[in-house]
Amino acid sequence: MMIGRVSLLRLNKKIGEQKVMYFYVALALGLELVVWFVPSLIADAVTVSLIGFFLGPIYPIIMNQTGRVVPRWLLCGSIGWIAGFGHSGSAILPFITGAIASKTGIKTLQPLLVSMTATLPVLWFFVPSGKVSSVDAIQEIKIADPVDSRARSVEIEFRDSLGAPS
């Protein structure tokens, strides 16, 4: 995974992180199908390592996109929530998969992995691409004074519904 994160940086920049995510997931999904349908120990070992190689850059891409989409004042907490849900999912989903496999057999592992991998691009589709526009925290507005004919500059600080600067 680490080798994939480092060696695929140029491809991420060249294609764009939003598009390259679909490419990596499609490759991982195709390789997962190879593991499922090709009964070869050596081929399975190679494809599983390639799956890890292509899934490696996904977490950093998600964190990078979070920095673009979420306002600065929410960024630290948002990354904490994303990481927390990710770690919870990495504990809960293997447990559920193991519980299902203990009842129905190990043959259910590959369909569950393929379905979980196929869910990722569907969720990624709903992530906004690029930077979400926001109002500057302080804007200068010129107001005309009815008593004095000269216009005055007034700084107004815009806040969101929670009271934090937007």
List per-residue pLDDT tens for the chain, 166 residues long.
888 888 888 898 899 888 999 999 999 999 999 999 999 999 999 999 999 999 999 988 988 888 888 888 888 899 999 999 988 988 998 898 889 889 998 888 889 889 989 999 999 899 887 665 554 334 444 455 556 555 555 455 555 555 555 5
Place of tokens 């390592």: 49
- Report the C-alpha gap between 128 and 69 in whole angstroms: 7
Judged on CB neighbours under 10 Å (0-12, 13-18, 19+), 22 is middle
- Report the C-alpha gap between 5 and 52 in whole angstroms: 10
What does the pLDDT look like over 150-160, one tens digit per residue?
555 545 555 55
**Structure confidence at residue 68 (pLDDT):** 87
Q: Please indicate, yes or no, whether the overall pTM of this predicted structure exceeds 0.75.
A: no
Q: In this structure, how many other beta carbons lie within 10 angstroms of the beta carbon of residue 31?
A: 22
Helices (H), the chain: 2-7, 9-15, 17-37, 41-55, 58-69, 72-104, 109-125
What does the pLDDT look like over 114-157, one tens digit per residue?
998 999 999 989 988 766 555 433 444 445 555 655 555 545 55
Q: In this structure, how many other beta carbons lie within 10 angstroms of the beta carbon of residue 5?
A: 17
**Structure confidence at residue 20 (pLDDT):** 92
